């Protein structure tokens, strides 16, 4: 979104206003770098989507009435913003970009983890907050109801894959669907993978945050590979690994941790791969790009995705990728040409695809070049900016005609 905002602001055809909800802030308006920002207060305790708070509606209406846009571009169907346009609280021409689709994602939330393992992984923190993996999936089912309303009550969407197009047609056949790829952040256009500069047997994975991202599948694959490749290492951001802690310290972290984090730490210990996984903490776009240039392989083990930015970034950099063949991923890669694919949750097949890249430099280089060439075309700044402007014009004109 920031990359697209900057590209639009650089044109002479767009005056851009950005409304962002921030917990417990004060409504404000400020111009920064030729963009007008509206800060919209929301309560930290959450929002009842059935009846959106009157104050929230009024604050968004105030921003819209002050800016008086020709069109409103909502990013994502996961939150309440599409309800503002769908329920006509804000009655301007509008289009919604599809990111993930909770209505589908919810079925994969546990990532193939058995219910008994989910229960074993519950922590004191999960019990006290009523915020374990079971409750989280229940909330996703609740959110999916409101997301379906967003899809059925709005009439124009922007998507990027055959998968999100098919879902849109299924739930709202009358909606207009526009295809437009996404811009990436600047560091990923500048970084370039080169086999001579990588750390051999180093893997970068984009997330270990919750089961749907499939990091537990990667742990099992690493367990299968560690004997043949004793130097194998997986690096990922924001993971709370504490496998080295023992005794009371380990028990304390088990109690305070989220359930999936405890599950991962127990699995890492069980599979004996503590020396082969590393958490990077919070890292910037520049640091992600550097991780991609130094990794031998990028792995996306998710159980469901639409068009993940992490894969787009890896392809742009040219990092050879192994990806689960799910959701919209088939619209992004061609198996054996721009990436190697595997069935979600299949650790043995994932291990075999990683092994191929570790052993076959020619294959890794071919995938790298092909992926970069496709990504360079797909995420071209001028092309995407032009497409967005054409979509805006189409949405505005069709509303006027109707």
pLDDT tens, residue by residue, 75-84: 999 999 999 9
Structure tokens at 108: 């994969």
CA proximity to 197, closest of 287, 312, 295: 295
CB contact at 8 A, 89 and 390: no
Q: What is the pLDDT of residues 54-79, one digit of tens each?
A: 999 999 999 999 999 999 999 999 99
Q: What is the pLDDT of residues 328-360, one digit of tens each?
A: 999 999 999 999 999 999 999 999 999 999 999
DSSP 116-136: HHHHHT--HHHHHHT-SHHHH
Report the range of poorest mean pLDDT among 22-26, 203-207, 297-301: 22-26
Whether the pLDDT of residue 402 is over 50: the answer is: no
CB contact at 8 A, 54 and 87: no
pLDDT at 400: 57
Report the range of poorest mean pLDDT among 33-47, 96-110, 160-174: 33-47
pLDDT at 401: 43
Query: CA-CA distance, 150 to 306, in Å (whole number)?
Result: 18
C-alpha torsion sign, points 242, 248, 251, 252: negative
Whether pTM exceeds 0.95: no
CA proximity to 59, closest of 90, 104, 102: 90
Tokens 């989280």 belong to residue: 136
CB contact at 8 A, 102 and 147: yes
pLDDT at 173: 97
Whether the pLDDT of residue 399 is over 70: the answer is: no
pLDDT at 365: 98
CB contact at 8 A, 67 and 46: no
Whether the pLDDT of residue 234 is over 90: the answer is: yes
Report the range of poorest mean pLDDT among 165-174, 222-231, 245-254: 245-254
pLDDT at 398: 79
pLDDT at 48: 85
Q: What is the pLDDT of residues 246-274, one digit of tens each?
A: 878 877 777 788 889 999 999 999 999 99
Rounded average pLDDT over 284-291 = 97
Query: CA-CA distance, 101 to 343, in Å (whole number)?
Result: 20
Q: What are phi and psi of 321, to 5 degrees?
A: -120, 145
Query: CA-CA distance, 311 to 326, in Å (whole number)?
Result: 13
CA proximity to 110, closest of 242, 259, 234: 259
Query: CA-CA distance, 235 to 287, in Å (whole number)?
Result: 12
Residues near 62 by Cβ (< 8 Å), separated by ≥ 6? Answer: 27
Query: CA-CA distance, 286 to 191, in Å (whole number)?
Result: 9
Query: CA-CA distance, 281 to 230, in Å (whole number)?
Result: 24
Query: CA-CA distance, 388 to 179, in Å (whole number)?
Result: 9
Query: CA-CA distance, 54 to 290, in Å (whole number)?
Result: 46
């Amino acid at each position: 979104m920031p990359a697209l905002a900057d590209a639009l602001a650089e044109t002479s055809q767009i005056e851009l206003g950005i409304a962002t909800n921030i917990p417990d802030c004060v409504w404000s308006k400020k111009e920064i770098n030729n963009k007008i920002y509206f800060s919209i207060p929301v309560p930290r305790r959450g929002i009842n989507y059935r009846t959106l708070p009157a104050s929230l509606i009024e604050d968004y209406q105030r921003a819209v009435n002050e800016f008086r846009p020709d069109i409103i571009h909502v990013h994502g169907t996961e939150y309440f913003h599409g309800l503002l346009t769908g329920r006509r609280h804000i009655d301007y021409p509008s289009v919604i970009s599809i990111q993930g689709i909770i209505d589908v994602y919810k079925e994969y939330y546990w990532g193939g983890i058995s219910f008994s393992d989910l229960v074993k992984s519950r922590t004191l923190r999960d019990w006290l907050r009523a915020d374990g993996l079971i409750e989280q999936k229940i909330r996703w089912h609740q959110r999916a109801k409101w997301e379906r309303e967003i899809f059925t009550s709005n009439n124009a969407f922007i998507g990027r894959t055959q998968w999100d197009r098919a879902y849109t047609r299924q739930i709202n056949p009358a909606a207009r669907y526009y295809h437009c790829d996404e811009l990436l952040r600047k560091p990923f256009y500048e970084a370039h993978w080169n086999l001579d500069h990588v750390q051999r047997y180093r893997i970068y994975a984009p997330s270990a945050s919750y089961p749907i991202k499939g990091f537990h599948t990667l742990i099992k694959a690493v367990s299968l590979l560690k004997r043949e490749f004793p130097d194998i290492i997986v690096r990922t951001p924001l993971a709370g690994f504490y496998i080295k802690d023992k005794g009371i310290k380990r028990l304390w972290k088990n109690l305070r941790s989220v359930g999936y984090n405890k599950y991962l730490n127990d699995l890492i210990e069980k599979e004996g791969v503590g020396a082969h996984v590393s958490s990077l903490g919070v890292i910037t776009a520049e640091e992600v790009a550097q991780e991609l240039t130094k990794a031998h392989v990028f792995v996306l083990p998710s159980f469901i995705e639409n068009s993940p930015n992490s894969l787009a970034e890896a392809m742009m950099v040219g990092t050879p990728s192994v990806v689960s063949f799910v959701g919209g991923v088939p619209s992004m890669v061609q198996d054996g040409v721009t990436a190697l694919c595997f069935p979600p949750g299949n650790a043995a097949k994932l291990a075999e695809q990683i092994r191929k890249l570790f052993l076959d430099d020619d294959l890794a280089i071919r995938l790298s070049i092909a992926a970069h060439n496709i990504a360079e075309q797909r995420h071209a700044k001028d092309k995407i900016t032009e497409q967005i402007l054409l979509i805006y014009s189409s949405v505005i004109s069709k509303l006027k005609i109707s």
